[in-house]
Amino acid sequence: EYMGEPTSFMTLRFVLVVAALCLCASLTVADKTPIVYWSQGPQIIRLDVRLKSFQMDSINITRRHLKLRGSAEPGDNYSLDIDFLRPVNHTASNYTVTPNHVYFIIPKVRDEPCWRRLTWSKHAHSWLKVDFVNLDVEGCTHAKNGWRERYSQTAEEEQEDPFETAVRDLRAKAKKRKGKSREHKKEL
């Protein structure tokens, strides 16, 4: 026996050391998220994923998601998982891989005003930056104004004439009264 420390304390210490080693061995290093610059117009979304010496493993684009996996120069693994704010036309999407970038051109499902954000999540992502150089401000403004005009025309067409509404309400009240008077006569 070891002199100075009780046996039960040594056993406890040994168990804690083994548990710590097992925990460290089971942990894997998480993939890093690359910096992504995004811009848009009324019809498309542009993404620029910036990585040095990027080796792509997989890219998957669906109506609501973009998933990218790969590795870069210092041997780091990278993954990108974006849940789009609205559906995109994934079948017409394309991308280009260069040594330092992955460029995406992703068409929107319909011509619409520019999105306030790229992702479904409302919180800001540190890895997501706006690409002000490629942002189509004029196209976004034009699409927003066109949408407002169409919306206001639709709203005006859907509004009823106040006179017609009053007549309809009076007729409904008259029907109610007639029904009540018939019930009253039956009771007598």
Q: Strands 128-130 and 94-97, how do they pair?
A: unpaired
Share of the chain above pLDDT 70, in %: 74
Q: What mean pLDDT is predicted for residues 170-179?
A: 79
The region that residue 151 occupies, defined by phi over 0 for left and psi between -120 and 50 for alpha, beta otherwise, is alpha
pLDDT in tens, 93-110: 999 998 889 999 999 998
CA 113 to chain centroid, in Å, comes to: 16
**Pairing mode, strands 101-107 and 44-50:** antiparallel
* 163 has pLDDT over 80: no
As separate numbers, helices (DSSP H) first and strands (DSSP E) second, the chain gives 3, 8
Alpha helix (H) ranges present in 81-136?
none
pLDDT at 125: 93
Q: Is 175 helix (H, G, I), strand (E, B) or coil?
A: helix
For residue 174, name the pLDDT band (cuts at 50, 70, 90).
Answer: confident
Lowest mean pLDDT among 7-11, 112-116, 127-131: 7-11
Share the mean pLDDT of the chain. 81
What pLDDT does residue 166 have? 73
pLDDT above 70: residue 172: yes
Which pLDDT score is estimated for 78? 92
Q: Which residues pair with 37 in a beta bridge?
A: 48, 129
Is pLDDT larger for residue 54 or for residue 156? 54
What are 16-69's pLDDT values in tens digits?
565 555 544 434 457 889 999 999 988 999 999 998 888 889 999 999 999 999
**Burial (0-12, 13-18, 19+ Cβ within 10 Å), 102:** buried
